[in-house]
Structure 1
Amino acid sequence: MPYGNYKNPNIVNKEVLIADSKFLNKSGIKIMNEDFEKAAKTARKGDFVYFDPPYASLDDTQNFVGYTLNGFDYKEQERLRDLFVTLDKKGCFVMLSNSSSKLIHDLYSDYKDTTIIIGATRNINSKASGRGKVDEVLIMNYNYKQS
């Protein structure tokens, strides 16, 4: 049963959706649901690109790649890393979030000086032991200073 047990949940708020749509249309922000290479094809120098892919497994016993029909395996993680590097060389500002796994740290080792480890809380997991605090990473191609 979902958390909250609401009788009449306000899932779709028409006024908020219309306001958000107007803001996005005026600002030139694009939210895309496409293959990441296709979505980033028009990125130009100075653009900000954020990737939130299916997260890599935290250990060798897990292999959860089921966000997409064909999965998101190591080759997809490599392909995303290659695009990250391409966009970096193009002059884009690039940020990516993922699990703080050895695989991700190894793939993005060239960006270790601009990688931040953050704690995130997981309330949903098929196993209770998978809930709670977990480390994630924000990988950037630019310096970020926390205040």
Structure 2
Amino acid sequence: MKTKQRAFLKWAGGKYTLVEPIRNLLPGGDKLIEPFVGAGSVFLNTDYEKYLLNDINADLIHLYKIIKRRPKTFIEDARKLFVPATNQAHVYYGIRADFNLSRDPYERSLYFLYLNRHGYNGLCRYNSSGFFNVPFGKYRAPYFPQQELEFFAEKAKRATFTCEPFQHSFRRARRGHVIYCDPPYLPLSPTANFTSYAGNGFGLDEQAILAQKAIDASAKRGIPVLISNHDTVFARELYQSANLTPLQVHRFISQNGSTRNKVGELLAYFAPQVPGLKVGK
């Protein structure tokens, strides 16, 4: 794959800038399993025969399923929301309210894409009541990602989408499959808070469970697992049995988005305890 493909969603913590080092560490296999698919940059920039793409965010997975099933209709309908008349604060908050009240998966999917591209910094955040609460982004002309949507729809023919706890994705893995995990990141400092994503908490206990699942999958079942996370003391403790690749990544780290500094990133590769698997995809 010569050029990198961008996701059609804006996504905090997306892996577009890390595609090359991640791809270099992923081994070959029949299927790539992503328990935390997010915007799908790794999916879009690898070449496995099949994919199992999971996320706990039901809105995200409904969107992906609809684009796979009805790409042309979805793109035509979504384009109508990307006009100057809809790029106003009062319209944005009206659509956000409609999204929060809607129970129709197709309507919610259209609104989800609109909110993602018109909301502040492309954030995906829900309050304790499960309502999407990202404020208006005030962009001059939000980009309509038609090419990216079409690419995703075509590649999604190889993918199965699920919305379930990450542990279930591990259970679905078989010999010959590869697992890549991009979980909600560990805080950079002990006082930092986790962001609310899809109304589900992912704390230190879940981080430890994920690390143990990776250890068990690689050591007991011969399934390679790659995990990305912040490079912290706790991360290195969790992943001490893995092959660690530290990186420095540019990222917005202040709340107002004006400060872009390098932060430590860690790629932890849990090699399968079986011979014959070559690194590099």
Structure 2 length as normaliser, TM-score? 0.43
Residue aligning to 2:261: 132
Task: Pick the structure with more helix per residue.
Answer: 2
Against the structure 1 CA distance between its residues 140 and 130, is the aligned structure 2 distance closer, same or farther, given a 3 Å change threshold? farther
Give the C-alpha shift of residue 92 in structure 1. 1.2
Correspondence for 2:229:
98
Residue pairs, 1:32-111, within 5 angstroms: 32-88=162-218, 89-111=220-242
Aligned length: 139
Deviation at 1:33, TM superposition (A): 4.1
Q: Which runs of 5+ in 2 are unaligned?
A: 1-119, 122-136, 272-277
Runs of at least 5 residues in structure 1 that lack an aligned partner in the other structure:
none
C-alpha distance 101-117 of structure 1, shift in aligned 2 (>3 A): same
Seen in structure 2, the aligned counterparts of structure 1 residues 32 and 119 have a Cα distance that, compared at 3 Å, is farther
Q: Deviations over 1:56-112 (max 9, x none)?
A: 11222213242342421111111111111121121112110000011110011111x
Letter in 2 for 1:45: R
Task: Identify the range of structure 1 (62-71 vs 34-43) with the bigger mean alpha-carbon deviation.
Answer: 62-71
Distance in structure 1 (CA, Å) of the matches to 2:142 and 2:235:
41
Match of 1:121 in 2: 250
| Superposed structure 1 runs of 4+ greater than 6 Å apart | none
Distance 1:108 1:49 in 2: 15
Cα 1:6/1:124, change in 2 over 3 Å: farther
Deviates more, 1:15-24 or 1:43-52: 15-24
Q: CA RMSD in A?
A: 2.9
Give the percent of matched residue pairs that are identical in Structure 1 and Structure 2: 27
When Rg is computed on C-alpha atoms for both structures, the one with the higher figure is 2
